[in-house]
Structure 1
């Protein structure tokens, strides 16, 4: 059993000499292994809460009749007299924490082995994650530290570490600053509007800028995703993948696109479908290559399987979006999460999506840093004047404005381009 008796005795002995040091400690009675040391530390906390000085006399008084159970007055006196200096008390505290983490980890693992299952494995991972951070302290930045970082952003904006990754669309980047580090970005639309194509375009653009894109596809196989990317990059009609009848130009452009994509830092995952598998995979990918510019795209929220049990589906979805938001913050990367919209959109005269249209919304609105809805008027009205134009409606942006950006959607290639570029291409045939 992991137990450093000297560390526990030294913390208690130091407090008997200099009781005010208890204010510098964060350990609790549960972190001690020895039952008598737990009891003594509890008594010390009570003495301190009363505003009384901690010493042998006050602790003995607080223990009362139970003092004999901890070895009597003699044991406390012995601990106090054995301390040459109280200076290392934080080192002793760290040792107690380390032993506690190991004991708890062993205990949790043993409990899991008694009845292993997918659900108990998830619980084990969650519990171990909590235990590993027990007693781990990081120094908080001062206000001056933050002000210095902000000043550097003002002076050297091009070198700022807080800059987002460009999406490749000027108007969208001007509104959002790109995909921001640490952000959970929700892109939502009705089926077949183009959310997967839009996400693939952003992922492709990120690769072209030297970034690393991770695609988690829960709906479409890697081969279909890659064919879409080849069509977009090489201007090969998507429908031709069904008939496999290609022109010489299709062949030439397709092969060139394959060569281009092969050089990208692109990863496609299909075997990960639970929230825990996705989180573990993302964390490993970032930790294995910490210096790369990681962008994660998950297609899509409603297909992710939860690893726990929840009373309602909206609570389940809310727990998953919260997990992904915390992961984005932890790894300081943008995570784009695609989402379906409910059929409620179809019941309104104006079918532009709203927050209430998010399916099984849970805490989506709360957790997301940015929520963008995709809307095509020609999706509902074939005679619409806005043919092949998609609206990106930014309905929430934690650190920026809301509004709408329009792009041209070249459906045959699954490609989004700026309206100016589209008109130019039409004019030149």
Structure 2
């Protein structure tokens, strides 16, 4: 039995014999759309299956774009209407001319089979993307040096996982609203458990962090961003939830000392000075409080070369090991590399790409991602020095992609004699899934930690 007997048009093959496209299936879909009738509209069936760039032949892509545009405005998609639109845009020759449009109508499949042939077109497009990804992987492998092999593998793995995610999502992204309504209403009866916790009572009450969320924590230098997020990481891990921290700014020793100081309440400067500054009571507290840190589901990555692909790879490893998506902390976003690693990228383009990729990987993996970010000097020029979401540095995409933005502000950073010395304001300036608010917590930087006011 041949492919044609099975209803699968013959595929165009590469010189090596690998299939790359099916011209017959592409013609069948376009022909059906060009001969649509009022009784049956095949354009909608095809559009539910096909994605941008699925067409192997540029001429077919041009014709399809016009069909979709006409259909979207409620206009006919027959040959006369498509020809007129192509003439208006100057694309008739690129589409193959009127002769090609006429040929397509002769190769049309029955309208009821349009979705079937569209799936063939889409399937071959996925195969081409897979082949292209493999070729790029080989090119990257040839250019890699012994020091960049892990990053090259992570980037290639992320690309393949993105293709897999696209294929997995195809069946669950479109449907009638009411089909899942009862299921969603029934889910309301089950108490919502946050995917991650911060360890700060008021902040946890305000924000029920859900899988797939990107949360940006931003502030001017020395406001306590790292103290806040390391505290969140440890508090989350102490509940048994897997937690991953990418520390691009601080090395292993500094991060370790900060976490140990916060947990054991041994002064940070004592730990920094070593045995010369440690007191007898400090050693007792270390013996009492640090053993439980060894067993926490807390993973650290101290590499200074972190890209979204590397974060995605680490998340996948933890999911395989623990069976759960982790809370991910990235300290901080502006120090990350892009997967493109182009020297021509501006800071704006770099931050925009990283922001978008972090949001996508959070959604794809079901992780909560907390990304630290620097603010520009906008708040320095205000009388009250209070930061705003618009102060996010390098890219407006951070504000757009984030599900929540937490701004850190301390009055005593500008006025050491402020009556609010020791207090930190966490300003939730954007909250896609809840209200915005200002939460006051206490900072104890001699212990490198931020805590509820009740514990100050």
**TM-score bucket (shorter structure):** 0.7 to 0.9
Shift in Å, 1:304: 1.0
Q: Does 1:138 align with 2:171?
A: yes
Q: Does 1:333 align with 2:367?
A: yes
Q: 2:279 aligns with which of 247, 254, 272?
A: 247
Equivalenced residues, count:
397
Q: 2:297 aligns with which of 265, 268, 289?
A: 265
Contact 2:376–2:393 under 8 Å retained in 1: yes
Shift in Å, 1:280: 3.0
Q: 1:105 aligns with which of 106, 111, 130?
A: 130
Q: 1:318 aligns with which of 333, 352, 358?
A: 352
Change over 3 Å in CA distance of 1:243–1:391 after alignment to 2 = same
SS in 2 for 1:292: coil
Q: Does 1:220 align with 2:250?
A: yes
SS in 2 for 1:244: helix
Contact 2:248–2:306 under 8 Å retained in 1: no
* Aligned-partner Cα distance in 2 for 1:124–1:418: 43
Shift in Å, 1:303: 0.8
Shift in Å, 1:86: 10
* Aligned-partner Cα distance in 2 for 1:111–1:367: 28
Which structure 2 residues correspond to residues 350-389 of structure 1 after superposition, within 5 A?
350-389=384-423
Shift in Å, 1:374: 1.0
Which structure 2 residues correspond to residues 280-429 of structure 1 after superposition, within 5 A?
280-285=312-317, 287-289=319-321, 291-308=323-340, 309=342, 312-422=346-456
SS in 2 for 1:101: helix
Q: 1:184 aligns with which of 214, 225, 229?
A: 214
Which structure 2 residues correspond to residues 274-285 of structure 1 after superposition, within 5 A?
274-285=306-317
Q: Does 1:2 align with 2:27?
A: no
Shift in Å, 1:176: 2.0
* Aligned-partner Cα distance in 1 for 2:52–2:230: 52
SS in 1 for 2:290: helix
Q: Does 1:50 align with 2:78?
A: yes
- Show CA shifts across 1:52-99 (max 9, x none): 9xxxxxxxxx999779x99xx9xx7xx99xxxx999986676555444
Change over 3 Å in CA distance of 1:131–1:257 after alignment to 2 = same
Contact 1:212–1:293 under 8 Å retained in 2: yes
TM-score with structure 2 setting the length: 0.71
- Show CA shifts across 1:208-265 (max 9, x none): 1111110001100123212211111111111012221322322232233331111110
- Show CA shifts across 1:341-377 (max 9, x none): 2233333321111123222133111111111111111
* Aligned-partner Cα distance in 1 for 2:111–2:405: 54
Contact 1:188–1:373 under 8 Å retained in 2: yes
Deviates more, 1:249-258 or 1:373-382: 249-258
Larger radius of gyration: 1
Change over 3 Å in CA distance of 1:153–1:11 after alignment to 2 = same
Change over 3 Å in CA distance of 1:186–1:262 after alignment to 2 = same
Q: Which consecutive residues of structure 1, in runs of 5 or more, have no partner in the other structure? A: 53-61, 423-429
SS in 2 for 1:137: helix
SS in 2 for 1:155: coil
Deviates more, 1:190-199 or 1:97-106: 97-106
Shift in Å, 1:101: 3.0
Contact 2:307–2:338 under 8 Å retained in 1: yes
Q: Which consecutive residues of structure 2, in runs of 5 or more, have no partner in the other structure? A: 1-16, 69-75, 81-95
Contact 1:4–1:95 under 8 Å retained in 2: no
* Aligned-partner Cα distance in 1 for 2:444–2:243: 23
Q: Does 1:168 align with 2:199?
A: yes
* Aligned-partner Cα distance in 2 for 1:63–1:285: 52
Contact 1:11–1:92 under 8 Å retained in 2: no
